[in-house]
Amino acid sequence: MKLSTFLQYAGNPREAADTVVSYEQAGLDAVFVAEAYGFDSPTLMGYLAAKTERIEIGSAILNIYSRTPGALLQTAAGLDNVSGGRAILGLGASGPQVIEGFHGVPYRKPLARTGEIVDLVRRGLKREPLTNEGEFHLPLDKEHGAVTGLGKALKLLTRPERDSIPIYIAALGEKSVEQTAEIADGWIPHLYHPEKAHLVWGKSLEAGKTKRQEGLGPLEVLAGGVVAIGEGEEVKKALDLVRPMFALYVGGMGARGKNFYNDVAVAYGYEDAAKEIQDLYLDGKKDEAAAAVPQEWLEAANFVGPEGYVKERIAAFRESGVTNLNITPAGPDPVATIARMKELIA
């Protein structure tokens, strides 16, 4: 099992990136950079590549709508070069709130677009021409577009560091998880409950794995939570740090009836809580929504408590199929926490 973390850059991204150097020295295997509608991920990943020597550097996630397939290929190839072959390309559909509300482009056909992008990036890294029979990277409309008469499709001008880069997909829905298990190197679920994950995604994962593309290794799974190792109420308060995040996703990421994360909460068996969280959040009562997140879920999804309990949570994640434990240190000494977690997962 590998150990990774998300870059926490709510304050100053440069200072956050500087901490990753000490994390690398403590044994961290990978760092992932989110984008959402904050700073762009590739800029920070390039900065991390210059600051570090060993760790893998991944996007988690770059959405599949705001960049063309060719631009995603360029980004992946560029990062892999400046990092010396340490890139992971994390992709995801995101959701209508970000894609339409921030980027101003239609949120449509996420499965088709994801599949096409993965195929194009993989072929592009081998310097094959970027042309296919899909709808997201074509010589333009044959009836109206002169583009089709301009000549052959182009291939990547520069030679990539590697002709294959790991591609992870963030997926929650049944069809998208099935597709991920079929075509991706890795899967990034969110709000992961190891004991209940099979209730939500078990059938989809198995269906996808039966069609898994030739040449791909076993599916990597990236999941985890907050870490605070120790005794007492002060340690347990670390769970309160993630309550607002759970409430944001379950309650605020989408409208009623169109919230993927709320659907996951329902599938976990938290139907009443999911409705309460969403109602409170959409009514502007964010603190009350956070308070309504089930304690059981928080405890299962994170690593907060005595070391023996943390070991049990690690075992649960491992048994559920997680291969890359993604953690957020919450104690006063994050470097020591990472070093200890590295020992515990060995």
Q: What's the pLDDT at 124? A: 95
How far are the Cα atoms of 305, 314, 320 from residue 311, in angstroms, in the given order? Answer: 10, 5, 14
Q: Which residues, 6 or more positions from 156, have their beta carbon under 8 angstroms from its beta carbon?
A: 73, 74, 77, 124, 125, 127
Which pLDDT band, with edges at 50, 70 and 90, does 104 fall under?
Answer: very high
- Residue 142 to residue 140: CA distance in whole angstroms: 6
Which pLDDT band, with edges at 50, 70 and 90, does 15 fall under?
Answer: confident
Question: What is the pLDDT averaged over residues 201-219?
Answer: 97
Which pLDDT band, with edges at 50, 70 and 90, does 36 fall under?
Answer: confident
For the segment(s) 2-230+303-345, the CATH number from 3.20.20.30, 3.40.50.1700, 3.40.50.10490, 3.30.70.141 is 3.20.20.30
How far are the Cα atoms of 146, 148, 150, 223 from residue 142, in angstroms, in the given order? Answer: 8, 6, 12, 44
Entry pTM:
0.93
For the chain, domain boundaries: 2-230+303-345, 231-302
Q: What's the pLDDT at 284? A: 97
- Residue 58 to residue 48: CA distance in whole angstroms: 10
Question: What is the pLDDT averaged over residues 269-297?
Answer: 98
Residue 250 confidence (pLDDT) above 60: yes
Buried b (16+ CB within 10 A) or exposed e, 106-117: ebeebeebbbbb
Comparing 52-61, 134-143, 308-317, 323-332, which segment has the lowest mean pLDDT? 134-143
